[in-house]
């Protein structure tokens, strides 16, 4: 049962657009950014929604590591490809322009690919692949991030949590949407365990001595000191497939940097050697595949839907209520929230009120009574 108060979607959207503009983001760009953040809340992915509005976007604009006006330079363009330099502007704006262009290219040529360098956090990866899916196409994308994941047999945080994301059209009410980090968990999940007073499962984190750690509070402290690292799917070593997850994380690290010739790994720390802030200089990649250039969208949708329905209907483990397919939980979160709004916890409520008061904006939130 949700116990947090809700803010209506329209109100939250208008408010975020107004505040982004107060921070110097042009109106059209502000609308894109607000929609990306709210889409995360619509899907129930609260780690990437309005909880990040202030710390990851507004605070970074303020400290100079994120430029509110996004100047996009086209480094290379062909009928099927596009490479852009985002010049440390809004990663969400750059990604939106990229996907618009790639969808157009894939309408004409069937396939399109793009890469962005010198970017900033682009929100949920699934927003971009869903743009392709809404146009009747398959979307694939990924991004690098500041180093936090160790390679198999390593202990040093080298790569980002590097999502490798696919969204594919189905004949159902919602797409197949696979949108997650290639590490087992992200920081946010360990913060969740800590809040719940729960240990972190063994094998998610590797310490400098090659062991693991399960005390969630201790993990968070040692992560900040660089004394432990996250592991990719499959866990430590090779016996349970850790090298496979490590391979996927590496693929994303390569594609995010090498297609655009941008920086990677330790260069993405966002910190100068003296500890001061600097630009994150992230890289992203995007591919769009048009099923009409294969056997047709309808064939693709039906086959995809049949596979997903078959999986859900297969025999469950005793005690397991359901088998889910990727994107289903996000769809159900939206069904539950669409008429209510975005649930806001205490810290977000405080941020909203403070921002409203700072700029003397004409909003009164429902939770203010």
* 253-312: contacts with a copy of itself (CB under 8 A): 253-255, 257-262, 264-266, 287, 289, 291, 293-296, 299-301, 303-304, 306-308, 310-311
Q: Which is nearer to a copy of itself, 59 or 328 (CB)?
A: 328
DSSP H or E segment with residue 74: strand 73-77
CA neighbours closer than 13 Å in the CB half-sphere of residue 172: 18
For residues 99 and 81, what is the distance between their CA atoms, to the nearest angstrom?
Answer: 11
Stretch that binds a copy of itself, among 24-32, 48-56, 89-97, 248-256 (CB under 8 A): 248-256
Minimum CB separation of residue 262 from a copy of itself in Å reads: 8
Q: Which of 293, 276, 202, 296 minimizes the C-alpha distance to 240?
A: 202
Q: What are phi and psi of 184, to 5 degrees?
A: -60, -45
Residue of the chain from 20, 166, 174, 331 that contacts a copy of itself (CB under 8 A): 166
Does 40 participate in binding a copy of itself (rule CB under 8 A)?
Answer: no
Classify burial at 220, counting beta carbons within 10 Å of its beta carbon; exposed 0-12, middle 13-18, buried 19 or more: middle
Per CB under 8 A, which of residues 44..73 are in contact with a copy of itself? none
Residue of the chain from 10, 319, 357, 362 that contacts a copy of itself (CB under 8 A): 319
Stretch that binds a copy of itself, among 4-12, 42-50, 78-86, 355-363 (CB under 8 A): 78-86
For residues 78 and 112, what is the distance between their CA atoms, to the nearest angstrom?
Answer: 10
Does 324 participate in binding a copy of itself (rule CB under 8 A)?
Answer: yes
DSSP assigned state of 261: T
SS3 311: helix
Q: Which is nearer to a copy of itself, 27 or 74 (CB)?
A: 74
The total of other beta-carbon atoms located within 10 Å of residue 2's CB is 9
For residues 38 and 51, what is the distance between their CA atoms, to the nearest angstrom?
Answer: 10
Q: Which residue has the tokens 């704006």?
A: 93
Q: Which is nearer to a copy of itself, 120 or 250 (CB)?
A: 250
Does 81 participate in binding a copy of itself (rule CB under 8 A)?
Answer: yes
Q: Which of 130, 121, 206 minimizes the C-alpha distance to 169?
A: 130
Q: Which is nearer to a copy of itself, 310 or 366 (CB)?
A: 310
Residue of the chain from 56, 155, 220, 353 that contacts a copy of itself (CB under 8 A): 155
Q: Which is nearer to a copy of itself, 37 or 138 (CB)?
A: 138
Does 209 participate in binding a copy of itself (rule CB under 8 A)?
Answer: yes
Does 74 participate in binding a copy of itself (rule CB under 8 A)?
Answer: no
Does 132 participate in binding a copy of itself (rule CB under 8 A)?
Answer: no
Q: What are phi and psi of 74, to 5 degrees?
A: -85, 115
Residue of the chain from 31, 204, 228, 344 that contacts a copy of itself (CB under 8 A): 204
DSSP H or E segment with residue 85: strand 81-85
């Amino acid at each position: 049962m949700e116990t947090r108060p809700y803010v209506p979607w329209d109100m939250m959207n208008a408010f975020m657009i107004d505040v982004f503009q107060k921070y110097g983001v042009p109106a059209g760009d502000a609308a894109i950014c607000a929609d990306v953040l709210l889409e995360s809340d619509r899907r129930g992915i609260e780690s990437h929604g309005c909880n990040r509005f202030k710390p990851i976007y507004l605070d970074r604009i303020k400290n100079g590591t994120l430029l509110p006006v996004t100047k996009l330079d086209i480094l290379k363009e062909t009928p099927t490809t596009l490479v852009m330099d985002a010049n440390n502007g809004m990663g969400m704006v750059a990604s939106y322009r990229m996907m618009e262009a790639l969808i157009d290219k894939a309408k004409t040529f069937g396939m399109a690919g793009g890469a962005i360098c010198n970017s900033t956090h682009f929100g949920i990866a699934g927003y971009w692949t869903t743009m392709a899916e809404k146009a009747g196409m398959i979307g694939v994308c990924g991004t690098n991030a500041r180093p936090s994941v160790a390679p198999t047999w390593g202990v040093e945080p080298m790569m980002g949590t590097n999502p490798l994301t696919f969204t594919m059209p189905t004949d159902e009410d919602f797409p197949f949407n696979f949108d997650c980090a290639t590490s087992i968990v992200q920081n946010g999940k360990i913060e969740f365990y800590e809040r719940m007073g729960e240990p972190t499962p063994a094998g998610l984190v590797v310490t400098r001595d090659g062991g693991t750690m399960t005390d969630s509070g201790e993990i968070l402290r040692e992560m900040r000191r660089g004394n432990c690292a996250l592991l990719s799917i499959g866990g430590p070593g090779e016996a349970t497939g850790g090298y496979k997850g490590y391979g996927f994380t590496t693929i994303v690290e390569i594609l995010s940097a090498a297609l655009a010739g941008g920086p990677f790994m330790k260069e993405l720390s966002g910190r100068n050697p003296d500890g001061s802030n600097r630009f994150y200089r992230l890289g992203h990649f995007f591919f769009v595949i048009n099923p009409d250039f294969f056997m047709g969208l309808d064939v693709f949708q039906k086959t995809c839907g049949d596979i997903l329905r078959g999986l859900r209907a297969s025999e469950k483990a005793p005690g397991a209520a359901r088998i889910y397919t990727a994107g289903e939980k996000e769809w159900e979160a939206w069904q539950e929230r669409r008429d209510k709004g975005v649930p806001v916890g205490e810290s977000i409520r405080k941020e909203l009120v403070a921002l409203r008061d700072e700029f003397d904006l004409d909003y009164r939130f429902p939770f203010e009574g």
